[in-house]
């Protein structure tokens, strides 16, 4: 795993990827600090971090698009399968390399509250609590990007899908106000998600019976619940969209509350998408 980590770091620093990622993140946080802390004379550095989350929609897909897609395109992924380490360690090595790239600009940003505290009343616990939260949230988005990169050998396509998915997650709370809150609309949406889950399982495992079985069981549960207790589905779809938002949970930290539930959610997202990434590579290995 350490060998994979070193190899990935060497590749990132020999290309412009790491530098572009760090430059964009530092630039947007710098602009936010100028607008909030300097011009508006607001001492809350966490507002700057909240402002800076919008750049994640672009820089995370750019950072992660090549991590596996390039290996598949150049057929060098075959070398990964011949290494005397498991697929889990390969994914972890690549993922940890991405986190190191992500941590470098964050380490520089972490100095900002200390500088501003010399000229104003900055509440450091909230500032650094928000920094911890934005790191874990970014780590969750990076895990999502790794999974998307594992699905294709086209870096542009991986970046495009990543931007679309993160963009939807960013605006999911706002969009939840416009989707159907009726029981029937929620039941239909859940049915579509059940079919989508079956398609993902089929792609990762090539087991059509397993995928069909899981989809049929979920559809049966949804249908039975809808007819027995339709009120349980009322407002369910908008609520799911709000609960799945990674960015909305970050606002809790900006408000000065260190939400352990949100931390657990971010960690769950990381584990889930890294697991799917491992399964995607395992499927290609056996093929």
Q: What is the pLDDT along the chain (287 residues), one digit of tens a residue?
A: 777 788 778 877 887 888 888 888 999 988 888 888 777 777 788 888 888 888 888 889 888 888 877 766 666 656 665 666 778 888 888 899 999 999 999 999 999 888 888 877 778 888 898 999 999 999 999 999 999 888 887 888 888 888 998 998 888 888 777 777 788 877 888 888 888 888 877 776 666 777 788 888 888 888 888 888 878 778 777 888 888 888 888 888 888 888 889 999 999 999 999 988 888 777 766 55
Together in a domain, 162 and 43: yes
Asked if residue 240 is part of any domain, the answer here is no
* 239 found inside a domain: no
Q: What's the pLDDT at 264?
A: 93
Number of domains in the chain: 2
Please tell me the pTM assigned to this model.
0.87
Whether residue 72 is found in the same domain as residue 201: no
Cβ neighbourhood burial of 227 (10 Å; 0-12, 13-18, 19+)? exposed
Q: What are phi and psi of 167, to 5 degrees?
A: -60, -45
Q: Tell whether 97 is covered by a domain.
A: yes
Kindly write down the DSSP assignment for every residue of 98-159, as one continuous string: HHHHHHHHHHHHTTHHHHHHTTS---HHHHHHHHHHHHHHHHHHHHHHHHHHTT-S-HHHHH
Q: Is the same domain home to 151 and 36?
A: yes
Task: Show the domain range for 100.
Answer: 2-174+245-286
Same domain, 170 and 188: no
**Whether residue 61 is found in the same domain as residue 135:** yes
Q: Are residues 116 and 15 in the same domain?
A: yes
Q: Which sign, positive or negative, has the C-alpha torsion 109, 242, 171, 19?
A: positive
Q: Quick one: 148 and 272 in the same domain?
A: yes
Residues 215 and 250 in one domain: no
In this structure, is residue 278 part of a structural domain? yes
């Amino acid at each position: 795993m350490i060998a994979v980590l070193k190899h990935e770091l060497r590749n990132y620093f020999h290309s412009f990827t790491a530098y572009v990622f760090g430059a964009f993140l530092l630039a947007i946080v710098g602009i936010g600090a100028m607008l909030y802390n300097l011009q508006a004379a607001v001492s809350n550095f966490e507002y700057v971090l909240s402002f800076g989350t919008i750049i994640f929609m672009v820089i995370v897909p750019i950072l992660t698009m090549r991590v596996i897609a390039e290996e598949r395109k150049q057929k060098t992924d075959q070398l990964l399968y011949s290494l005397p380490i498991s697929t889990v360690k390969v994914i972890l090595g690549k993922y940890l390399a991405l986190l190191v790239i992500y941590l470098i600009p964050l380490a520089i940003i972490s100095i900002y509250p200390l500088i501003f505290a010399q000229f104003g009343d900055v509440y450091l616990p909230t500032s650094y609590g928000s920094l911890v939260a934005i790191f874990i949230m970014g780590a969750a988005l990076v895990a999502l990007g790794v999974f998307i990169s594992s699905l294709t050998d086209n870096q542009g396509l991986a970046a495009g899908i990543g931007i679309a998915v993160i963009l939807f997650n960013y605006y999911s709370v706002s969009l939840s106000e416009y989707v159907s809150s009726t029981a029937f609309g929620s039941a239909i949406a859940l049915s579509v998600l059940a079919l989508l889950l079956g398609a993902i399982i089929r792609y990762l495992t090539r087991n059509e019976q397993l995928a069909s079985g899981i989809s049929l069981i979920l559809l049966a549960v949804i249908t039975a619940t809808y007819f027995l207790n339709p009120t349980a589905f009322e407002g369910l779809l908008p609520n799911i969209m709000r609960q799945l938002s990674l960015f909305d949970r970050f606002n809790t930290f900006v408000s000065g509350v260190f939400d352990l539930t949100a931390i657990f959610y971010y960690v769950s997202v990381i584990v889930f998408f890294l697991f799917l990434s491992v399964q995607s590579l395992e499927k290609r290995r056996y093929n």
